[in-house]
Amino acid sequence: MASLLLSACNNDKNTQATTGAATTAPQQAVTDTTATGETAGMAAAEKVVYINTDTLLTNYQYFKDVSTRLKGKAQKTEANLRSQADAFQKEVAKYQQTGAGMTAEQQASTEQKLAQKQQQIQERGQKAGNDIAAEEAEEMKKLYDRVEAYLKKFCEEKGYKMVLSYARGNSAILYGVSSLDVTSEVLTGLNQEYEQEKKKK
């Protein structure tokens, strides 16, 4: 998420020369002869804003829905594998109780079958783990794509050039004034967009 949000929001309309009514508000503030140096500096600084990624992920409904679904799927898979493992252990226990009365050939055959079952359970567990990890990676990619697409529109509308990410204890931003924090605004927009998508389904 940090690498995603540390992205430039290039807005060609804001970088090209404009005339008349096409001049944007930030440009007017900079070129206005009555503007002070402080005002111009603030206008330039506010081209860069930041988002608290912890807050975003905690409150973005799309991410919460995906997390709930993946967690449920993982728990269901784990329960299924545990059931298979328990059944296998019962077979092993039964063999330990009755194996002494079997012929050497029967013992060898039973042990071979048990070994094959054990290997199959291990392979299923490994495959299930890989499948879940792959699905989680795919869902995170979708999340990044959604947030990035929204931020591009957001930056175009607001005239921002870059959105930085902030996460407590894991961020290049040690401090930022609250006026540059657009987390709430972005979060509201993302949730509204997602709610509209769900209504269409």
pLDDT at 19 over 50: no
pTM: 0.69
Q: Please, which residues bridge with residue 163 across strands? A: 7, 49
> Is residue 150 within 8 Å of residue 36, measured between CB atoms?
no
What value does the mean pLDDT take over residues 32-47? 47
- If pLDDT is split at 50, 70 and 90, which confidence band does 46 have? low
Spatial distance between the Cα atoms of 66 and 201, rounded to a whole number of angstroms: 16
Tokens 């990035």 found at:
148
pLDDT tens per residue, range 59-117: 999 999 999 999 999 999 999 999 999 999 999 999 999 988 999 999 999 999 999 99
List the domains of the chain with CATH numbers: 2-16+40-200 (3.30.910.20)
pLDDT at 146 over 80: yes
- If pLDDT is split at 50, 70 and 90, which confidence band does 172 have? confident
**Residue 27 DSSP label:** H
- If pLDDT is split at 50, 70 and 90, which confidence band does 152 have? very high
pLDDT at 35 over 60: no
- If pLDDT is split at 50, 70 and 90, which confidence band does 45 have? low
Kindly report which listed range (80-89, 155-164, 174-183, 188-197) carries the lowest average pLDDT score: 174-183
Residue 47 structure tokens: 């081209």
- Residue 95's Cβ-count burial label (10 Å; 0-12, 13-18, 19+) is middle
CA distances from 28 to 12, 43, 96 (A): 17, 10, 86
